[in-house]
Amino acid sequence: MADANKDRLLANTNTLWGLVTEANHGPEEAAQRARAALLDRYKGAVHAYLLGALRDANAADDLAQEFYLRFVRGDLRNANPEKGRFRDLVKTTLFHLIVDYQRRQKARPQPLPPDDIGSASVSPDVLPSEEQFLDSWRQQLLGQAWNALRLHDTTYYTVLLLRAENSELSSAEMAEQLSVQFGHAVSADWVRTRVKRAREQFTDLLLDELAQSMANPTREHMEEELADLQLLVYCQDAVARWKG
């Protein structure tokens, strides 16, 4: 029920920026619901990025909780869509959390390695990278698109998931497995048609998810964002269909 409420809240908000505004400036009860919806939507990307940047599960958990706390208490109330993309807001907040954490770690007394009379330093490779953040954001976006497809059409979801997880299967082999899952016979031609339609639906939903994080999505902005996330090559036809 809680997940359904969050889905309805998001569906009734034009963009994620609208949800951010509600979270930071709305009446307290509505603000709490909006914050919960935002955290539920992006907690996977947040934790994956922190874990990849810090390489320490305990530290990632601690900073994730600190990030969530900032959302809950409204520390991001000055967020403004005119200042950039929603993911830029999240990335900047996480970057500062990581930098502050690393500074605290460096300030603690560190044991010196044998025969080392110098001071310890932090290796550059522990700093958070743009690639790490984009990967976590991309995986979160794809996960949202998969969930949207499942809610939109379970048949398309089942067919496309089988194709994604078993790319080596022929259409005839997929038809055999799907006939068992669905409880009725389907043909190889049926599978080919459903895979094509499911891919189109999936990429359309992916663009819908992406557009929600942008204050004023245009086709040009969508292409730039998809290129940054290395998804444009898979979504060219969907971009051509997208009406904004």
Within this chain, do residues 223 and 145 fall inside the same structural domain, yes or no? yes
- pLDDT tens for 204-238 read 999 988 887 776 778 888 898 899 999 999 999 99
Residue 120: inside a domain: no
Within this chain, do residues 194 and 150 fall inside the same structural domain, yes or no? yes
Within this chain, do residues 158 and 206 fall inside the same structural domain, yes or no? yes
Within this chain, do residues 133 and 191 fall inside the same structural domain, yes or no? yes
The pLDDT > 90 percentage for the chain reads 33
Within this chain, do residues 98 and 135 fall inside the same structural domain, yes or no? no
Are 66 and 94 spatial neighbours (Cβ–Cβ below 8 Å)?
no
pLDDT greater than 80 at residue 83: no
As a whole number of angstroms, the distance between CA 211 and CA 16 comes to: 9
Residue 234: inside a domain: yes
Within this chain, do residues 73 and 178 fall inside the same structural domain, yes or no? no
Tell me how many domains the chain contains.
2
Residue 182: inside a domain: yes
Within this chain, do residues 150 and 186 fall inside the same structural domain, yes or no? yes
Residue 142: inside a domain: yes
Residue 42: inside a domain: yes
Residue with more model confidence, 186 or 40: 186
Residue 119: inside a domain: no
Cα Rg of the chain, angstroms: 22
- pLDDT tens for 165-214 read 999 999 999 999 999 999 999 999 999 999 999 999 999 999 988 887 77
Q: Which domain holds residue 15?
A: 1-108
Within this chain, do residues 134 and 97 fall inside the same structural domain, yes or no? no
Within this chain, do residues 79 and 155 fall inside the same structural domain, yes or no? no
pLDDT greater than 70 at residue 38: yes
Block residue for tokens 């309805």 = 8
Within this chain, do residues 104 and 215 fall inside the same structural domain, yes or no? no
Residue 33: inside a domain: yes
| DSSP code at position 113 | P
Q: Which pTM value belongs to this model?
A: 0.69
- What is the CATH classification number for the domain harbouring 64? 1.10.1740
Are 60 and 50 spatial neighbours (Cβ–Cβ below 8 Å)?
yes
Within this chain, do residues 202 and 100 fall inside the same structural domain, yes or no? no
Within this chain, do residues 93 and 138 fall inside the same structural domain, yes or no? no
Name the H helices within the chain: 2-11, 16-25, 28-54, 57-72, 86-107, 130-152, 154-165, 171-182, 188-212, 219-228, 232-241
Residue 113: inside a domain: no
Token digits for 148? 């949207």
